[in-house]
Amino acid sequence: MKSWILAARPKTLPAAIVPVWVGAAFPLASGKGSWLLFFCTLVSCVFIQIATNLFNDAIDSNKGADTEKRLGPTRVTATGALSGRTVMAGAIVFCFLAAMVAIPMVLARGWPIIAIGLVSIFFAYGYTGGPVPLAYKGLGELFVILFFGFVAVAGSFYVQVGSIESSMVFFVFALSLMCGFYSSALIAINNLRDVEEDSGTGKRTLAVRWGVGFARAEIALFCLGPLAIWAYLLSERGGYPVAFVILGIQAVLAVFLVSRVYRAKPSPIYNKFLALAALQLLLFGAVVGCIAYGL
């Protein structure tokens, strides 16, 4: 069981949980949403995230991408704790469970949910597998912005209300972009940490392709960019004292994280930076919740 928990990478699950909450918060707060559909969306997305992690564990090991130079958490396939075939089978099981949990969503919203689900499951494998593995082609950040930002947030909003009114399009777009940025910060920090290992194993991440300087710049964009978006969205709004306090904490955290990334060489210290980036994402979810409920 310990090996399966390690392979599932629970520390990555905020990237699946927060976007669902961000997309559902305002409909739920207004009374127009459904807690049942929220629960189904949340569990389904978490299962797809776990499947992605399992596929990644097995495929990276098979490609020789996890070496003795690895600075991140232990990979169960590479160390022999579980066989690649077993881990792949586990990933398929979680894809199946994600589809089963999504049935109430399909019944409520129809074919768009099927389309989103099929594409999400396909890329759960295609992130590191298939003929064009995104993580190996420098497309990881773009994938995360698209799926953990726009698809997850806008999709969760759609599941709740069945449409996105024109008056909400820009706001949902902004929330999606911010969520995608914060989630991509996790990938970018991870890739910067592993730049030496990846460069020697053929994993052409953006950090490998364009260097450490670029990787640090994109991390700064992903951490600080959402603050500029919040400043625009909230420039003429007040009455959210708790949200503004949390946003202030988040701003301090973002500046601290970016400054540390710029000072520290890629090393195991980046695992702590990943924890701070995950906290940053959770605080973003808290800000959205406070604004949705008028706090």
18-32 pLDDT per residue, tens: 999 999 999 999 998
Residue type, 103: I
30-41 pLDDT per residue, tens: 998 999 999 999
Three-class SS of 112-175: HHHHHHHHHHHHHHHCCCCCCCHHHCCCHHHHHHHHHHHHHHHHHHHHHHCCCCHHHHHHHHHH
Confidence (pLDDT) at 162? 86
Rounded Cα–Cα distance for residues 134 and 123 (Å): 9
Indicate the average pLDDT of the chain. 87
With a pLDDT cut of 90, the percent of the chain lying above it is 53
In this prediction, residue 63 has a pLDDT band, given cuts at 50, 70 and 90, of low
Pick from 5-9, 42-46, 203-207: least confident: 5-9
Q: How many alpha carbons fall within 13 Å on the CB side of residue 223?
A: 32
Decide: 148 and 141 in contact? Cβ < 8 Å: no
pTM score over 0.75: yes
Confidence (pLDDT) at 70? 52
Rounded Cα–Cα distance for residues 235 and 242 (Å): 16
Rounded to a whole number, what is the largest CA-CA distance in the chain? 56
